[in-house]
Amino acid sequence: MLERSHDYIQWLFPLPEASRFNHNAPVLRPEDMAEIKASDAAKANMRRARDRMLDFYKVNDHWLTAFDHNHLRITRIIRCLKLALGTDEARGFHDEIRALVAAAGNPVNAESLSYWRNAAGKSSDPC
């Protein structure tokens, strides 16, 4: 279901910019961000969503190709985690995803890897 549906990721991991793909998705405003950061329940729910998506990527390898729409999802997840939960959370997810990519023989294109690194705040790190 996570692969067939394309409108949930923007709700689970909102960003300050409007989605180009889901015009009904929320846009994360500064007051929304403050509310998330102040709410233990909101942070716990975001961590559960992060864990669910990581589990999805661990048991499915179809995204481990040069180009896949999941690469955009991963960028969104990392960016949202950094904004809402902090750099450590974003980097942790990034590191887990990169380990999956490395274990698959590094099939993901350099541009996607760069987007992930930048989203995690690791722009000076090598792939």
Per-residue model confidence (pLDDT) at position 126:
42
Per-residue model confidence (pLDDT) at position 109:
98
pLDDT digits (tens, 9 = 90+) for 6-64: 778 999 999 999 988 888 899 999 999 999 999 999 999 999 999 999 999 999 999 99
Helix then strand then coil, % of the chain, to nearest 5? 60, 0, 40
**Residue 96 corresponds to which tokens in the numbers above?**
């887990």
Global pTM?
0.92
Cα 32 to Cα 51: distance, rounded to the nearest angstrom: 22
pLDDT above 70 for 77? yes
pLDDT above 90 for 4? no
Q: Would you list the domain boundaries of the chain?
A: 9-119
